Structure 1
Amino acid sequence: MYDNKIMINIKEFHSVANRTRTLPLPARKKLLITLIAAATAHMAHAQSISDQKETAASVPAQTGQSQTKADSVPTLPTITVTGAGNGADSYRKRSASIGTFGDAPLLDTPASISVITRSQLDDQQSRLLSEVVRNDAAVGDNYAPVGYYENFTIRGFALDLASSYQINGMSIAGEQNVALENKESVEILKGLAGLQSGMAAPGGLINYVTKRPADVRSVTLETDSRGSRYLAADIGTLFGEQKQFGIRINAAHESLHSYVNDADGERNFASLAADWVITPQARLQFDAEYQHREQRSAPGYQLLGGTVIPGNVSPEKLLGAQPWAKPVTINSVNLNLRLDLDLTPDWHAYLAASRSRVVIDDNSAFPYGCGYGATCGDGGTPARYFSAGGDFDIYDYRFPDDTRRNDQLQAVLQGHLDTGKLRHDLTFGASMFRRTVAQSDGVNEYVGSDNIYNPNPIVYEPSPLTPDASYLRLDSRQKALFAVDRLSFNPQWQLIAGARQVWVNERALDVTGAATRTTDKTLLLPQIALVYKPQADLSLYASYSKGLTMGGQAPWWTENAFAFLPPTVSRQIEAGVKYDWRDQLSLSAAIFQMTKPYEYPMPDENGFTYVQQGTETHRGIELSAAGQVTRQLRLTASMAMIQARAEDTGTPAYDGHQAINVPRLRAALYAAYTVPQVTGLSVLGGWQYSGSKAATREGNVDVPAYSLFNAGLRYKTSLSGHATVVRLSVDNLFDKRYWKDVGEYIGDGYLHLGAPRTARLSVQYDF
């Protein structure tokens, strides 16, 4: 066992949200400059920063009873923790808040969970969630074009943008590329999360855990092989007589130079984290973050003639490029507020509130189908595919002020009591959630046609039409009561039983404000799990759970265009084993079966109607490892094997074969090796594999399997007594051409090429 002694400032806080309005950009810039200046001025008079890494200096407390409580003064005590494989450079975490209502050991949690640590995010120089989740084989891309917000699958099921993404355990609108500068880790729950979240996609949840205030001052400069420029600052301090106050500011500017021609852009980000130990029994935590991102999006290809994968195409080509096309602009605000109260030594409560608001100006010269060109329809090609010869139509696509908002309130009471020989760890709670979607009818007008092999794109005039004002299309409200009891019979056996009672009221609206659909649904979502620990470092579990998922939105070309379908019920059974080898390497395996109603555009006499009919079943096995193998070698590794099929859909061609965009096998490995002969030097490397994937619901077209290799170096040194880290990484080392995803978006199938070889160089300097 290799011990790392870590000095840790324990802060008994957690996080969550509140409300504000979006400031105009000039005001936000002034606010950011003011905050950074104020923080820097204050820290000039504060104590000097210790040499400890900020990841060890700030461990967020998820539940009050799990932390050491101050006896007299509201301060953040410094203690020494001795552990293996959990230091500042670790790729392993022992606990996570996702999947529970507080920080819980992963070994004791009856669910498949992976955690990507800050150290791994830094080593991979991650900026997007797609660069994070590539470390988990159960997660895949599902319509993730350059310049747009990314979509993902877990266990083959598409994540729900309304409820599958969280910050500090509270829901956020998923139509954003969440910034990573102020995130301490990213937690991934694979499987149903109905008890934890109510309405959520069956695939799972992704939770971002924010950095907490600490004495830290750091700046990072970065560039890449295409000339992108990146500047970020991380500034924080603890202050007050007993260090009971803390703030932390993260800010970043990025000039984006994409591998896709003419798809450049920029990003600006600022966040504030503030903590206050009010009394030894009361703690308040606040998080606010704002991001402005604008970039031309790079649309995907479509099957030629509906049956052939485009060949000899370059990832650098911007398909359908027009000089008048505007960038996609995404402005996002995420706010969290949380109050923790230690009621007694055994009972803890917290109150949390959050708001997440995203406003999208969705603009594109969008290539779609072939209905107007001379070769369109040749061979019976449906109009929603490119022609057999590569012809496609170009649409002037403008949908401004597309607004998504999530609001959530949650109150939780946790504690334990004994009844005879039984120990009960209890959780009771109530939650309120609202999701609204406002969209305009926009402009989506044909302007001309082109061909994918044309080296000089044809320029057309844009549509003279102007988009209408946006209006409320969806208002979804959810109330819930939940309870969980973890019964410990003895050190070996635990039974976890819980349920969430959900009341859903949802209205879909037309432009006049009249309801086109009203859903009132009451549902009990149970979850039960049995855990057996034959020894302290080994656990086995089996579980059953039930979940509720928001219905999908119909494609524009269906009879019920843009309609939101009602919520659906999903079910899951899972069994797994977890083992902590020498308290430095976490190993796990899980087997599962998940079912949900099948949603798709069903062909009928009128064309297509978007329906819920039949059942989609996913069965699979997952293997994973994370931690330290030797003193010099640490890694994360995972593998997922999934069989995903639909049955009884009413369309026989869709039944009985592998689902679209779900490979049967996916694997991932990332490792860091510390070179003992050169102080401070580490060699980094990774490998990703994806099996072939069906590109149609009929399963008659597959894109090939691929392997990618990544490499890098990390060098730690000191400049003028200040810690400095230089990182070099090369993704797609051998410049492999591959189709990264063939997922659907609002009912239409698109093929996206993966990024070519890309090198990044960064310098992080602590001052």
Structure 2
Amino acid sequence: MAACRSLPSRTPLCLALGLIGSTAWAQTTPTEPARVVTVTGQALTAPSTGVAGFGDVPAARAPFQTAGYSQATLQDAGITALNELTRLDPGLGDAYNSAGYWASFSLRGYALDNRFNYRRDGLPINAETAISLDNKERVDLLRGTSGIQAGTSAPGGLVDFVVKRPRGDQKTFFVGYTQRGSLKAAADIDQTLGSQGQAGLRLNASVEKLDPALRDAQGHRHLLAAAGTLRVSPETLLEAEVELSHQSQPSQPGFSLLGGVLPQAGSINPRINLNNQRWSLPVVFDGSTASLRWTQQLDRDWRLQTQAMVQRLTNNDRAAFPFGCGIALPSSYCSDGSFDLYDYRSEHEHRTSRAVSSELQGKAQWGGMAHELALGVLWDDYHGRFGPQAFNQVEGRGLMDGSVQLPANPDASGANTNRTERSLEWSLRDVVTLAEPTRLWLGLRHTTLHRDTVRIDGSEATASTQAFTTPWLALSQQLTPALMAYASWGQGAESSVVPNLPTYSNAGQGRTQKSRQSELGLKYADNTWAWSLTGFDIHRPATRDVGDCNSSCTQVQDGNDHHRGLEASLSGHWDAWTLDTGAMWLRARREGSSDAGLNERTPTNVPRQTLRAALDYAVPAWPGLSLQASVQHQGQREVLADNSLQLPSWTTWGLATRYQWHGARTHYTLRAGVDNLFDVRAWKESPTQYDHVYLYPVDPRTFRISLQARL
């Protein structure tokens, strides 16, 4: 604490340290809580994440790569919003991941599709919204081609949100502060009901005032959620839950190149928000989701589970949106830091998703071999209904220092596009024990898909019907009780429609692009250490327009986006130390294009390597106190499609502390930390949107503190 005497008295880190010290000294007889070591997705004893569809197979014995991030892990890292999850997972990258907007990720270098790569308790949802984490038990990731679980999706993987369900009598309360003025309060009430404990109810509520280090981004959000269970009989379980959420916050447009030149990140204040006009309005996300799940144990070996879900989203999407430097330079801001500014407004966007699934799971003996079978059907329906939108250039030019105020131009006369999508998917999975240490894993999914789009003025209508099958198979060998090797191969599918414009010779034509992935892996896990080493190779068909689309062109399949990489992880604990680290090396290239100038180019905004590591030390002399250090490293990214400009690599460090103690009936956890300890200035990512290059800076140094009480 002596070092804090030279700092301002209101420095959050000093406040945190002071609070920890005063609280600790107040405990005359501290009781050491049982240490819980969380190893995400690796430990042999931990269940496999359900995002892969193989139930409770231990992660260390599953022939695919998954990771699960619990509420405790998120709280230790100070993560309160989904778009911050990239700080934990090396395979998860930023892909136009703007503050105040919905999270946009990439996995294994492929940008995820917010309409198709997200699940909620295994059912498909639309992630074009702000997804609250407060009523989620875990966020699970599947790395790799996702055709095993999704009829259509971008390759790279899936994100699944596991909803909190009743577990027993417990009450948890949380309050937190994040610099420069964000405040959060949350409650989690878990209650057993009924004379025999045959029912349960879990309530989650949170409210948050948003005032981040980013300027002109003040807002608020809240959540109210309830989940209930009813044990109708020893064989029958009924579960229901509902969630209501709201977020209102201005979004963050990106910076950009200056006359095609990459500006020095150190010369840009990362706290500047270019969405700072007097007429700037917040982006508003309102969501309601409800689901019902029925599980019936048919006998000792067979179980039937049916679940249904409906999700309703209403968005007001608004921004003062910087875009280009006149007709001559649409991909960059001007060399003097000025830019064209557009008034963008799309009010009352309505997105409704419905899904119903049923799956029969069981064990059988056929041909002298043990089989673990699952037969499922999934029906999915999506409606996107929109009104007119504004995307109007305003008079004058903005500046990158955010100092210029310009007039609004809110006329909403642009025609939006309504979408309707329906799919029916049949799936079959089988885990065959060929011999006790050898298993064959088989998966097959058949999808029938109907899609319709039409502009709200009735023009440019498209309709397509497609059917396709995506297989998946793997072979695993348990080399020792702790070491497993596996090889897998699978396909995924994406569906697209050629723009229904008269300049396209194949306008409105539907197409299916099948990706394929091969993977080899080693996994090790014992009671102390877990590690994995995985090599993957993914091919994804690419398309391009041939000809001049101002007059006549054709959209054709043209080569592949080929991503080849290596993932490694190591986690474990010894004495008072706990380590959790992961890394990914990626070689991404365009191959097989008829345009030789595109071949061997690295896609933009894809890092060549990433590293995430965290080290925890439980102080022996002070039971309940642990000190944590973390590091993030991001390799070089390409900025332009011709690979003539790159973002330099960057590394940030973080420090945190956690102190746990017991009161008479309450368990307390006090957390404090600082992210980007050395206030590194660097460009975090360089997404290209609508042929314009944007630049997002690394978040500035940020302090945080929270207190949790569990009764």
TM-score normalised to structure 2 length: 0.89
Equivalence for 1:427: 374
Q: Distance in 2 between matches of 1:489 and 1:189?
A: 26
Give yes or no for the alignment of 1:445 onto 2:392: yes
Unmatched 5+ stretches in structure 2 = 1-30
Counterpart residue identity of residue 383, structure 1: P
Q: For residue 414 of structure 1, report the CA deviation from its aligned partner.
A: 0.7
Aligned residues: 675
Counterpart residue identity of residue 736, structure 1: V
Q: For residue 655 of structure 1, report the CA deviation from its aligned partner.
A: 2.5
Taking a change above 3 Å as real, the CA distance of residues 463 and 514 of structure 1, as seen in their structure-2 partners, is: closer
Counterpart residue identity of residue 337, structure 2: G
Counterpart residue identity of residue 446, structure 2: Q
Taking a change above 3 Å as real, the CA distance of residues 449 and 441 of structure 1, as seen in their structure-2 partners, is: same
Q: For residue 143 of structure 1, report the CA deviation from its aligned partner.
A: 0.5
Taking a change above 3 Å as real, the CA distance of residues 466 and 506 of structure 1, as seen in their structure-2 partners, is: closer
Query: Residue 394 of structure 2 aligns to a residue in which SS?
Result: strand
Taking a change above 3 Å as real, the CA distance of residues 87 and 364 of structure 1, as seen in their structure-2 partners, is: closer
On the 8 A contact 2:386/2:456 being kept in 1, the answer is no
On the 8 A contact 1:508/1:563 being kept in 2, the answer is no
On the 8 A contact 2:119/2:125 being kept in 1, the answer is yes
Taking a change above 3 Å as real, the CA distance of residues 427 and 95 of structure 1, as seen in their structure-2 partners, is: same
Q: Distance in 2 between matches of 1:136 and 1:339?
A: 33
Q: For residue 647 of structure 1, report the CA deviation from its aligned partner.
A: 2.3
Q: In structure 2, which of residues 107, 111, 116 is the aligned counterpart of residue 158 of structure 1?
A: 111
Q: Distance in 1 between matches of 2:289 and 2:162?
A: 13
Q: Distance in 2 between matches of 1:101 and 1:553?
A: 36
Taking a change above 3 Å as real, the CA distance of residues 445 and 428 of structure 1, as seen in their structure-2 partners, is: same
Taking a change above 3 Å as real, the CA distance of residues 614 and 402 of structure 1, as seen in their structure-2 partners, is: farther
Between 500-509 and 719-728, the greater mean CA deviation after superposition:
719-728
Query: Residue 75 of structure 2 aligns to a residue in which SS?
Result: helix
1:633-689 superposed Cα distances (whole Å, 9 cap, x missing partner): 223211101111112445544321221111111110123221111011011121110
Query: Residue 489 of structure 1 aligns to a residue in which SS?
Result: strand
Give yes or no for the alignment of 1:120 onto 2:120: no
Query: Residue 132 of structure 1 aligns to a residue in which SS?
Result: helix
Counterpart residue identity of residue 340, structure 2: D
Q: In structure 1, which of residues 580, 585, 599 is the aligned counterpart of residue 529 of structure 2?
A: 585
On the 8 A contact 2:92/2:106 being kept in 1, the answer is yes
Q: In structure 2, which of residues 227, 234, 242 is the aligned counterpart of residue 280 of structure 1?
A: 234
Between 485-494 and 302-311, the greater mean CA deviation after superposition:
302-311
Counterpart residue identity of residue 398, structure 1: R
Equivalence for 1:289: 243
Q: For residue 437 of structure 1, report the CA deviation from its aligned partner.
A: 2.3
Equivalence for 2:569: 624
Q: For residue 85 of structure 1, report the CA deviation from its aligned partner.
A: 4.5
Q: Distance in 2 between matches of 1:52 and 1:267?
A: 36
1:278-329 superposed Cα distances (whole Å, 9 cap, x missing partner): 1100101122212110111110022222343465111111225210111111
Taking a change above 3 Å as real, the CA distance of residues 756 and 340 of structure 1, as seen in their structure-2 partners, is: same
On the 8 A contact 1:162/1:435 being kept in 2, the answer is no
Q: For residue 625 of structure 1, report the CA deviation from its aligned partner.
A: 2.6
Equivalence for 2:192: 238
Q: Matches of residues 27-176 of structure 1 in structure 2 within 5 Å?
A: 85=37, 93-176=46-129
Q: For residue 243 of structure 1, report the CA deviation from its aligned partner.
A: 0.5
Q: For residue 603 of structure 1, report the CA deviation from its aligned partner.
A: 7.5
Counterpart residue identity of residue 412, structure 1: E
Q: For residue 402 of structure 1, report the CA deviation from its aligned partner.
A: 2.2
Q: For residue 451 of structure 1, report the CA deviation from its aligned partner.
A: 4.8
Equivalence for 1:72: none
On the 8 A contact 1:320/1:450 being kept in 2, the answer is no
Between 117-126 and 521-530, the greater mean CA deviation after superposition:
117-126
Q: For residue 495 of structure 1, report the CA deviation from its aligned partner.
A: 0.8
Query: Residue 194 of structure 1 aligns to a residue in which SS?
Result: coil
Q: Distance in 1 between matches of 2:365 and 2:411?
A: 69
Give yes or no for the alignment of 1:482 onto 2:436: no
Q: For residue 611 of structure 1, report the CA deviation from its aligned partner.
A: 6.4
On the 8 A contact 1:555/1:747 being kept in 2, the answer is no
Taking a change above 3 Å as real, the CA distance of residues 87 and 587 of structure 1, as seen in their structure-2 partners, is: closer
Equivalence for 1:692: 636
Q: Distance in 2 between matches of 1:667 and 1:433?
A: 37
On the 8 A contact 1:217/1:234 being kept in 2, the answer is yes
Query: Residue 255 of structure 2 aligns to a residue in which SS?
Result: coil
Q: For residue 455 of structure 1, report the CA deviation from its aligned partner.
A: 6.0
Q: Distance in 1 between matches of 2:194 and 2:385?
A: 44
Q: Distance in 2 between matches of 1:585 and 1:85?
A: 11
Taking a change above 3 Å as real, the CA distance of residues 229 and 610 of structure 1, as seen in their structure-2 partners, is: farther
Q: In structure 1, which of residues 314, 317, 331 is the aligned counterpart of residue 286 of structure 2?
A: 331
Taking a change above 3 Å as real, the CA distance of residues 532 and 526 of structure 1, as seen in their structure-2 partners, is: same
Query: Residue 193 of structure 1 aligns to a residue in which SS?
Result: coil
Between 194-203 and 608-617, the greater mean CA deviation after superposition:
608-617
Q: Distance in 2 between matches of 1:394 and 1:295?
A: 20
Equivalence for 1:394: 341
Equivalence for 1:661: 605
Equivalence for 2:440: 495
Query: Residue 700 of structure 2 aligns to a residue in which SS?
Result: coil
Q: Could you list the runs of 4 or more consecutive aligned residues of structure 1 that deviate by over 6 angstroms after TM superposition?
A: 552-556, 562-565, 607-611
Equivalence for 1:418: 365
Equivalence for 1:61: none
Q: In structure 2, which of residues 306, 309, 323 is the aligned counterpart of residue 368 of structure 1?
A: 323
Q: Matches of residues 171-320 of structure 1 in structure 2 within 5 Å?
A: 171-213=124-166, 214-309=168-263, 312-319=267-274
Give yes or no for the alignment of 1:762 onto 2:709: no
Counterpart residue identity of residue 226, structure 1: R
Q: Distance in 2 between matches of 1:649 and 1:244?
A: 61
1:99-144 superposed Cα distances (whole Å, 9 cap, x missing partner): 1242321122211111212321121121122333322111101001
Taking a change above 3 Å as real, the CA distance of residues 732 and 290 of structure 1, as seen in their structure-2 partners, is: same
Q: Distance in 2 between matches of 1:686 and 1:553?
A: 45
Taking a change above 3 Å as real, the CA distance of residues 555 and 179 of structure 1, as seen in their structure-2 partners, is: farther
Query: Residue 121 of structure 1 aligns to a residue in which SS?
Result: helix
On the 8 A contact 1:172/1:334 being kept in 2, the answer is no
Q: Please provide the CA RMSD for this pair.
A: 2.9
1:136-156 superposed Cα distances (whole Å, 9 cap, x missing partner): 111101001111111000000
On the 8 A contact 1:432/1:479 being kept in 2, the answer is yes
Equivalence for 1:24: none
On the 8 A contact 1:600/1:747 being kept in 2, the answer is no
Q: Distance in 2 between matches of 1:555 and 1:224?
A: 48
Equivalence for 1:385: 332
Taking a change above 3 Å as real, the CA distance of residues 85 and 315 of structure 1, as seen in their structure-2 partners, is: closer
On the 8 A contact 1:252/1:269 being kept in 2, the answer is yes
Equivalence for 2:25: none
Equivalence for 2:676: 732
Q: Distance in 2 between matches of 1:758 and 1:555?
A: 47
Query: Residue 629 of structure 1 aligns to a residue in which SS?
Result: strand
Q: Distance in 1 between matches of 2:462 and 2:658?
A: 55
Query: Residue 286 of structure 1 aligns to a residue in which SS?
Result: strand
Instruction: Provide the identity percentage.
Output: 28
Equivalence for 2:303: 348
Query: Residue 606 of structure 2 aligns to a residue in which SS?
Result: coil
Q: Distance in 1 between matches of 2:513 and 2:357?
A: 23
1:559-581 superposed Cα distances (whole Å, 9 cap, x missing partner): 89x9997442111111111111x
On the 8 A contact 2:460/2:500 being kept in 1, the answer is no
Taking a change above 3 Å as real, the CA distance of residues 548 and 542 of structure 1, as seen in their structure-2 partners, is: same
On the 8 A contact 1:84/1:583 being kept in 2, the answer is no
Q: Distance in 1 between matches of 2:530 and 2:617?
A: 18
Counterpart residue identity of residue 341, structure 2: I
Q: For residue 181 of structure 1, report the CA deviation from its aligned partner.
A: 1.2
Q: For residue 171 of structure 1, report the CA deviation from its aligned partner.
A: 1.2
Q: Distance in 1 between matches of 2:449 and 2:609?
A: 37
Taking a change above 3 Å as real, the CA distance of residues 511 and 131 of structure 1, as seen in their structure-2 partners, is: closer
Give yes or no for the alignment of 1:463 onto 2:409: yes
Q: Distance in 1 between matches of 2:66 and 2:538?
A: 16
Equivalence for 1:714: 658
Q: Distance in 2 between matches of 1:167 and 1:324?
A: 36
